[in-house]
């Protein structure tokens, strides 16, 4: 389940393989994902890849034809680089190929493969110049890894909000990139109760939480992105951060700080894991 660190890792992972290359062919295997894959995508052969960037959890592949390919991995999406000369890649099992939705072949024979079991992902093509006006970018909140994510910014986000703090930091219209896993982890690290009303956080809690969000995300990026089961690094190898969670998916297991059992409750259909003793 890709969150910001995973998306960042994918971008960094594919960048050296694709920047500077020219698109040879585009194969759309599944025309209907979260939104229909634009038909104009078939006109991309001949375009050169200029850069790979991340915006929130979106992957932006900027092309020489003034267009940008936008990819969101949704819940279960992967973006892998396959090499037509690599026997192991071509001998992937049928099961592994089953949810390939888009294959972009480059002039060096490498393939960018978008695979997404649950089809929550998105592939779109937008005008590079008017990116800011793209419907999915208009309402995006603050980037947690940019300087603009100051203590004051988080304070403003929380100010007079009655929703619980976890729901607030997970709201992409307020703060981007923090999904369920890292929200749980960051709140644990900050010692803040996930159920607490956002508007009632103290100065100290805001300070700690801002720091722990940044720390949690940076640590995960450094580790190459975390994984439960859906995520694989851009080169197709499984990620390796999954066993380092303090609270996520650890219901009933002892808290790593105080040994009390980790608790779980459901909030808006999302599981929230926390330690009652360490987070109050």
Partner DNA sequence: AAGTAGTCCTGAGTGC
Partner DNA sequence: TGCACTCAGGACTACT
Instruction: Give the per-residue contact string, 115-134, with DNA (x = CB under 7 A; - = no).
Output: --xxxx--------------
State phi, psi for 70 to the nearest 5 degrees: -110, 130
Q: Nearest CA to 261 among 272, 270, 248, 251?
A: 251
Whether 97 contacts 57, CB under 8 Å: no
**Of 57, 78, 110, 166, which residue is the catalytic one?**
57
Q: Does 75 bind DNA (CB under 7 A)?
A: yes
Which residue has tokens 């920047």? 19
Work out whether strand 77-83 and strand 100-106 pair parallel, antiparallel, or are unpaired: unpaired
User: How far apart are alpha carbons 225 and 68 in whole angstroms?
Assistant: 24
User: How far apart are alpha carbons 264 and 272 in whole angstroms?
Assistant: 5
Give me the least distance between CB of 76 and DNA, in Å please. 6
Interface residue with DNA, options 148, 229, 237, 259 (CB under 7 A): 229
Task: Tell me which residues in 80-109 interact with DNA (CB under 7 A).
Answer: 98-99
Is 270 an annotated catalytic residue? Answer: yes
Closer Cβ to DNA, 5 or 110, answer by number = 5
Instruction: Give the per-residue contact string, 154-193, with DNA (x = CB under 7 A; - = no).
Output: -------xxx---x--x-xx--x--xxx------------
Helices and strands (H and E) in the chain: how many: 7, 10
**End-to-end CA gap in the chain:** 28
The answer to whether the Cα torsion of 90, 94, 100, 103 is positive or negative is positive
In sequence order, the 6+-apart residues with CB closer than 8 A to the CB of 263 are 251, 273, 274, 275, 276
Give me the least distance between CB of 123 and DNA, in Å please. 14
Size of the site for DNA (CB under 7 A): 37
Closer Cβ to DNA, 88 or 162, answer by number = 162
Q: Does 49 bind DNA (CB under 7 A)?
A: no
**Per-residue b or e along 110-139, where b marks 16 or more CB atoms closer than 10 Å to that residue's CB:** bbbbbbbeebebbbbbbeeeeeeebebeee
Q: Does 252 bind DNA (CB under 7 A)?
A: no
User: How far apart are alpha carbons 121 and 110 in whole angstroms?
Assistant: 22
Whether 70 contacts 37, CB under 8 Å: no
Closer Cβ to DNA, 229 or 237, answer by number = 229
Closer Cβ to DNA, 4 or 52, answer by number = 4
Is 57 an annotated catalytic residue? Answer: yes
The token pair that represents 74 in the structure block: 């949704």
Is 3 an annotated catalytic residue? Answer: yes
Is 15 an annotated catalytic residue? Answer: no
Task: Identify which range of 16-24, 112-120, 208-216, 218-226 contacts DNA by CB under 7 A.
Answer: 112-120
Give me the least distance between CB of 146 and DNA, in Å please. 16
Note the residues at the interface with DNA (CB under 7 A). Answer: 1, 3, 34, 56-57, 72, 74-76, 98-99, 117-120, 135-136, 139, 161-163, 167, 170, 172-173, 176, 179-181, 229, 248-249, 266, 268-271
> Which positions are annotated as active-site residues?
2-3, 57, 270
């Amino acid at each position: 389940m890709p969150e910001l660190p995973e998306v960042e890792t994918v971008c960094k992972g594919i960048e050296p393989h694709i920047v500077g290359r020219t698109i040879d062919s585009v194969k759309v295997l599944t025309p209907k994902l979260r939104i229909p894959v634009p038909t104009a995508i078939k006109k991309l052969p001949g375009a050169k890849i200029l850069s790979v960037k991340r915006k929130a959890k979106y992957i932006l592949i900027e092309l020489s034809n003034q267009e940008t390919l936008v990819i969101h991995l949704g819940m279960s999406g992967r973006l892998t680089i396959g090499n037509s000369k690599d026997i192991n890649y071509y001998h992937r099992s049928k099961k592994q190929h089953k949810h390939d939705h888009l294959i972009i072949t480059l002039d060096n024979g490498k393939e960018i493969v978008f695979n997404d079991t649950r089809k929550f992902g998105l592939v779109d093509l937008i005008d590079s110049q008017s990116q800011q006006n793209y419907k999915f970018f208009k309402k995006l909140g603050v980037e947690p890894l940019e300087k603009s994510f100051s203590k004051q910014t988080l304070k403003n986000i929380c100010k007079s909000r009655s929703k619980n703090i976890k729901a607030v930091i997970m709201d992409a219209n307020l703060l981007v990139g923090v999904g369920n896993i890292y929200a749980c982890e960051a709140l644990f690290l900050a010692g803040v109760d996930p159920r607490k009303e956002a508007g009632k956080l103290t100065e100290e809690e805001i300070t700690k939480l801002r720091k722990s969000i940044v720390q949690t995300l940076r640590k995960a990026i450094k580790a190459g992105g975390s994984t439960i089961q859906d995520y694989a690094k851009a080169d197709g190898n499984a990620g390796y951060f999954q066993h380092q969670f303090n609270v996520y998916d650890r219901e009933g297991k002892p808290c790593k700080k105080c040994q009390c059992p980790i608790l779980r409750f459901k909030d808006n259909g999302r599981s929230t894991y926390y330690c009652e003793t360490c987070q109050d």
